[in-house]
Structure 1
Amino acid sequence: MKLTKGGGLYVASTLLLGVSAVNTGNNLLFLMVAAMLAFMATTGVLGWLNIRGLALSVHLPDEVYAGTDTFLSVTLHNSKRYLPSFLVRVAVAGGSTSFLMVDRKRPQSGSLLLSFPVRGPLQLPDASASSPFPVNFFIRATSLPVHQECTVFPAPRPLPVPAPGGKPDAGEAAAVAAAGYDGELAKISDYRGGEPLKLIHWRLSAKHEVFKVKELTATAAEPLLLDLDQVPGRDLEQRLSFCTFLVNRLVKGGRPVGLKLGERVITPGSTRSHRLRLLTELANYGKN
C-alpha cells in the first residue's frame, strides 16, 4: 500500500484534529475526527475489495526477438461475486496498462509494449495490479501470478544473403533465377558443352552455325546449410544475430535452410515450424 499526496494531507489533518481534540476536550472536534477516521476506514475497505478476485492471463507472440519492442496481450479477469473493479493498473516486466472498469465475469483485454534485452528462455515474472480507488488516498497493490514461458530469439542483423548460385545478394540488385533443368524457359543461349540433349533447341540450331540450348529455371532453390562457425562476426552474439537474419530471409523466400552448430547438424527445411525450430536452436545455443 502506498500513500498518495492527497492521502498524506488527509492523514496529517486527521492527526492534527485528533491532537487538538485531546488538548481542548472539544466534543465537536472528537466527532469530526471520528467521521474522518470512519471515512478513511470505509475507503480502505472499498479499495481492498477493489483489487481482490483479480486474475491475469498473458499471451506472447510466437516470435520474440531480443532488443525489439514486442506487444504482450493481457486479459484481466474479475471473479468477484458482485462488485466490479475500477481504475486498475497492471504492470508486467516493466510495462503497464490501465483498465477503467473490469466487470465481474467479463474479462477486459489490453496490451503492453515490452523489450527483452537477452536471448534465451524467458519466464515472465509475476504481475502487479494496483488501484487508487475510491478516492486516491492510498494506492493498493496485489501480486498476480503469470504462468507464461517463451524463447527470446537473437536480435536479427542484416547480412548479405547467399543466392542459390553461391553469390551474395544484399537486396540491392534484382534477383536472378537459378539455372535448372525442370523449370520454365528462361532464355536461349549457345551450347557450351555438358548440357543434356533434351535441352538442345533443334529447330533454332538448324538456323544457326552453333547449337542452341534452352536454359530453364530451377524448380526449387538449392538447400543451404548455415555453419555458425563460418558466419562472419566479431563475437558469438553477432554471429547468432546474422544467422537469425539469414534464417528468416531465406526460409521466407522459399529456400530450404539447415544449421550446423558445432558438431550438431539440423537438416534443411523450408516450413514455418522448421524456421521457428532453427531460431529456437540459435536462441538457446551456449545457454546450457
Structure 2
Amino acid sequence: MRFTKGGGLYVAATLLLGVSAVNTGNNLLFLIVAAMLSFMATTGVLGWLNIRGLALSVHLPDEVYAGTETFLSVTLANSKKFLPSFLIRVTVSGRATTFLMVEKGRAQSGSLLLSFPLRGPLQTLPASVSSPFPVNFFVRAAAVTVFQSCTVFPAPRGGMVPPPGGKPDAGEAASVAASGYDGELAKISDYRGGEPLKLIHWRLSAKHEVLKVKELTATAAEPLLLDLDLIPGRDLEQRLSFCTFLVNRLIKGGRPVGLKLGERVIPPATTRAHRLRLLTELAGYGKD
C-alpha cells in the first residue's frame, strides 16, 4: 500500500487532530479523530477486497523482437468474488493499462506496448495489480508473476539483400505461395507481432478485439543458405540482427532460405513455421 498526495494530507491531518485531542482533552476532537480513523480503516478494507480474487494472464504474439515494441494482450478475470472490481491498474514490465470495471464472473481484455532489451527464451514477466478504489487516498497493490513462455528474437537490422536469382533447379524444392509484401491479398489473419504497420487492416481491426493483418502472396525464387559466420557485422549480435532481417525479408518475399550455424545446417524452405524455426535458432545461438 502507498499513499497518494491526498492520502498523505489526510493521515497528517488525522495525526495532528489526534495530538491536539490528547493535549487538550477535548471530547469532540476525540470523536472526530475516531471517525477519521474509522473511515481510513473502512476504505483500506474495501481497497484490499477490490484487488482480491483477480486472475491475470497475458499473451504475446508469435513474433517478438528485441528492442522492438509489440502488442501484449492482457486479460483480467474476476471469478472468485461476488462483487465487481473497480479502477484496476495492471502493470507488466513497467507498462500499464487500466480497467474501469471487472464484473463478477467475467474477463476483461486490454493491450499495451512492450519491449524486451535482450534476445533469448522468456519464461516469466514481472507484473502488479493495483487500485486507488474507493477513494484516491491509498493505492493497494499486489505483485504478480506471470508465466509466459516465449522466445525473443534478435532485433532485425537491415542491409543489402541478395537478389532472387531465378527459380530452383530440378530436384530442389518446388515453388509455393508464400507471404509477401507486394503480392495479391491471400487472406486476413490475426496480428502476430512481426508484420509492418502498412499491412494492418485498420477497418476490420476496429470490429474485433485483436488486430487484423493482410497476408499477401509472393512467388518463390532460388533457395539460399545463410552462413552466420559469413554474415557481415562487427560482432555476433550485429550479425544475428542482420541475419534475422534477411530471414524475414527473403522468406516473406517468397525465397526459400536455410541456415548454417557452425557445423549445423537447416535446409531451405519458405513456410512460416520454418521461418520461426530459423528465428528461434538465431535467438538461442550462443546462449548455452
- Superposition TM-score tier, normalisation by shorter sequence: 0.7 to 0.9
Q: Secondary structure at the residue paired with 1:124?
A: strand
Aligned-residue Cα RMSD (Å) equals 1.8
- The answer as to whether partners of 1:64 and 1:152 remain within 8 angstroms in 2 is yes
Give the aligned residue type for 1:238.
Answer: Q
Q: Does the alignment pair 1:14 with 2:28?
A: no
Aligned letter for 1:38?
S
Contact 1:56 1:145 in 2 (8 A): no
2:57 aligned residue: 57
Which residue matches 1:71? 71
- Which residue of 2 is the match for residue 210 of structure 1? none
Contact 1:75 1:107 in 2 (8 A): yes
Question: How far does the alpha carbon of each residue in 1:193-236 deviate from its partner, in whole angstroms, 9 at most, with x for none?
Answer: xxxxxxxxxxxxxxxxxxxxxxxxxx952211110011111111
Matches within 5 A, 1:76-95: 76-95=76-95
Contact 1:54 1:144 in 2 (8 A): no
1:147 is matched with 147
TM norm structure 1: 0.80
CA distance, structure 1, for counterparts of residue 96 and residue 63 of structure 2: 21
Question: What is the identity, as a one-letter code, of the residue corresponding to 1:46?
Answer: L
Tell me whether 1:236 sits opposite 2:236 in the alignment.
yes
Deviations 1:82-114 (A, max 9, x none): 111111111011111111111111111111111
Match of 1:158 in 2: 158
Aligned-partner Cα distance in 1 for 2:164–2:248? 16
Instruction: Using structure 2 for the length normalisation, give the TM-score.
Output: 0.80
Q: Compared with structure 1, are the counterparts of its residues 117 and 27 closer, same or farther at alpha carbon in structure 2 (3 Å cutoff)? A: same
Aligned partner letter, 2:268: P
**Alignment-derived partner of residue 115 in structure 1:** 115
What's 2:253 paired with? 253
Distance in 2, Cα, partners of 1:180 & 1:282: 28
Alignment of 1:199-210 (within 5 A): none
Aligned to 1:283: 283
**How many Å apart are 1:144 and its aligned residue?**
2.3
Q: Return the offset for 1:178.
A: 5.3
Structure 1 stretches of at least 4 aligned residues deviating more than 2 Å after TM superposition = 123-126, 177-181, 219-222
Whole-angstrom CA distance in 2 between matches of 1:180 and 1:126: 51
Count of aligned positions:
241
Find the residue that maps to 1:162 and give its secondary structure: coil
Mapping of residues 35-50 of structure 1, within 5 Å = 35-50=35-50
Separation of aligned partners in 2, 1:150 and 1:33: 53
Is the alpha carbon distance of 1:179 and 1:66 closer, same or farther for their aligned partners in structure 2, counting shifts above 3 Å?
A: closer
Inter-partner Cα distance in structure 2 for 1:39 and 1:60? 42
The question of whether the paired residues in 1 share the 8 Å contact of 2:220 and 2:253 is answered with no
Q: How do 1:150-189 and structure 2 match up within 5 A?
A: 150-165=150-165
1-structure distance, mates of 2:67, 2:222: 32
Which consecutive unaligned segments of at least 5 residues does structure 2 have? Answer: 175-218
Sort the Cα spacing of 1:107 and 1:285 in 2 relative to 1 into closer, same or farther, 3 A: same
Mapped to 1, the partners of 2:80 and 2:167 lie a distance apart of 64
Work out whether residues 84 and 104 of structure 1, in 8 Å CA contact, stay in contact via their aligned partners in 2.
Answer: yes
Give yes or no for contact 1:55–1:144 (8 Å, CA) kept in 2: no
Q: Which residue of 1 aligns with 2:210?
A: none
Residue number in structure 1 paired with 2:124? 124
Q: Using the alignment, how far apart are the partners of 2:167 and 2:123 within structure 1?
A: 44
CA distance in 2, matches of 1:164, 1:4: 61
